[in-house]
Amino acid sequence: MFARTTSKDRPLINKTCALRKSIIHARARILILFLALGSLIYTRASAQVAPATSPAWADLLGAYSEPATGKSVRIVVKGGQLICQSADGLAVAEFRLLQTVPGDVFETVETSSHQQVSFFRDKSGKIAGLKFSGHTYLRDSLNSSESASSTGSASSSLVSPAPFPGPMPPRLPQDLRGKLGDFASQDEKQVIILLERSKHLYLREAAGAEHLLNALSFTKERDRTSYTYSSNEAEAWVLAFKQRGFDPIWDIFTQIGPYHRFPYSVPTGSSSVNLVKPLRNIKEIRAAALAATPPEEKGPFRKDDLVELAKLDPAIRLDIRYATPNDFLGTAVYTQARAFLQRPAAEALVRALHRLQPLGYGLLIHDGYRPWYVTKIFWDATPESGKIFVADPAQGSRHNRGCAVDLTLYDLKTDQPVEMIGLYDEMSPRSFPDYPGGTSLQRWHRDLLRWAMESEGFTVYESEWWHFDYKDWREYAIGNIPFEKLDVGKN
């Protein structure tokens, strides 16, 4: 069941403008929505690879695109290892990278073959691109056809600490309600995003180019309105669609063919698209997880000093989803609705809160310290297509170490959570902290949270806007103590 919005406000003002009679744009590029979920196919490495610990590797992280085709690869760190993610339509293959010699040349580690991933730099020494599988990819921040001001992002790689996002933008104009979202061609290899920027509608291609759309005409047809939009280029995008009131539009017709909405991108979100069907009975998975043993680690580690977050400040509120059926598994996995962090991380969280309070916001906590057995439940219950959003228990999670927190903002005046681009634990591209869609206000809320957290030593996780890791997470061992056994009186 999808959320819908209604309004008594007037429809879009008609503009008398003649359509160009022959706007046909023969696009040969394949537009890829990187990491769009649905039927993700992973090629996982089986060889053991040394952990990615070199601080210089942070320069390599980010997205890279091939100029001629728009194909993309993404360099990320997962489980302490460097990963190259290569997309083709909705299929995503992962390759672990092994640095055999010092420098910018790596080898993929697979069961059948090895390939080179070779990075190259510009004259200033910054990473400019990479060569992989016979293709040359340029770093997106260097290959953008538009300025940062027009795309809303200075770089597609995640830079920490994030800057202050500036003044609060206005809310979404009424005439754009229901029109935003991610849309795919019939074969789902070409994807466009309709987003709002500066109270205007934009179309964004997967390669990053954005096009300002102007309303050409609208026609009332009983309870629906037919709209036509066009961009201003010589080879323009032309969009036509029908909308009932301000309900989400589901189908768009363009000069190169029809597009349909991805179900996850209903403007106000839909929890039904976030549910994962467990691979087997949760009771069986829980029993096996409780009987399992966390991976062995070599110390030394700091002594655990977990602090209960709800006791630190009245402006810290809890919404512990994993203690309720309102989570991605549709069943409770925690026995108590509580949240803990190691003391240095908890103190940094309070400092981040104090940055936000003068701006009118408090922190709503979804999760903190997570016993290891719960991480194993998540992993064993989640199909391969969703495992990018859950931690591998063989590596352990930063939640297990008490140095990761899942959270969002709430309005101190209304006590209501703010409007974000996607939902908590949503397994879709909207969860990425650099996802460019949605509204200006939604992106501003997301970026404000990130600014406050990263100003105090946290770093956002590259696949989840709500997940932040504290800088000292490596200094704590994986924990497996259930909430019931933690000292309730500790502060």
d(CA 227, CA 213): 12
pLDDT at 75: 85
CA distance 246 to 174: 8
pLDDT in the model for residue 274? 62
Query: Please, what's the b/e burial string for 406-432 (b: 16 or more CB within 10 A of its CB; e: otherwise)?
Result: bbbbbeeeeeebbbbbbbbbbbbbbbb
User: Cα–Cα distance between 43 and 33 in angstroms, integer?
Assistant: 18
Report which residue type is found at 152: G
Number of other CB atoms surrounding residue 280 within 10 Å:
10
Query: What confidence score (pLDDT) does residue 397 get?
Result: 92
How much is the average pLDDT of 197-222? 92
Task: State both tokens at 113.
Answer: 């073959």
Strand partners, 106: 117
Indicate if the pLDDT at residue 113 is higher than 50: yes
Contact 433, 450 (CB under 8 A): yes
DSSP assigned state of 134 = T
pLDDT, position 84: 84
Count of H-run helices and E-run strands, the chain: 6, 24
**Between vectors from CA 464 to CA 459 and to CA 470, what angle results, nearest 5°?**
25
Average pLDDT over residues 378-389: 84
Q: pLDDT tens digits, residue range 218-268? A: 899 888 999 999 998 888 899 999 999 999 999 999 999 999 999 889 876
Note the helical H segments in 183-323.
282-291
Paired tokens of 281: 């009975």
Structure confidence at residue 349 (pLDDT): 98
β 316-318/361-367 pair status: parallel
- Residue from 284, 297, 464, 484 carrying the catalytic annotation: 464
In this predicted model, what pLDDT tens digit does every residue of 185-195 receive, in sequence order?
999 889 999 99
**Confidence (pLDDT) at 110:** 64
- Burial class, 32, CB count within 10 angstroms (exposed 0-12 / middle 13-18 / buried 19+): buried
Q: Is 464 a catalytic residue?
A: yes
Residues 407, 366 contacting (CB under 8 angstroms):
yes
Helices 343-356 + 440-454 axis angle, to 10: 140
Alpha carbons 317 and 337: distance in angstroms, whole number: 11
Give the span between the Cα atoms of 433 and 160, in whole angstroms. Answer: 12
**Distance (Å, rounded) from C-alpha 425 to C-alpha 322?**
11
| Cα end-to-end distance, the chain, whole Å | 42
Ordered by where they begin, the domains of the chain are 271-485 (3.30.1380.10)
Band of residue 8 on the pLDDT scale cut at 50, 70, 90: very low
CB 212 within 8 A of CB 66: no
CA neighbor of 44 nearest in space, from 127, 89, 108: 108
Instruction: Give 317-373 pLDDT, tens digit per residue.
Output: 999 999 999 888 889 999 999 999 999 999 999 999 999 999 999 999 999 999 999
Mean pLDDT of the chain: 81
Q: Higher confidence at residue 113 or residue 360?
A: 360
Mean pLDDT of 153-181: 83
pLDDT in tens, 384-401: 877 877 889 999 999 999
Apex 215 CA angle, 146 and 269, nearest 5: 75
**pLDDT computed for residue 17 by the predictor:** 32
Q: Map residue 453 onto helix, strand or coil.
A: helix
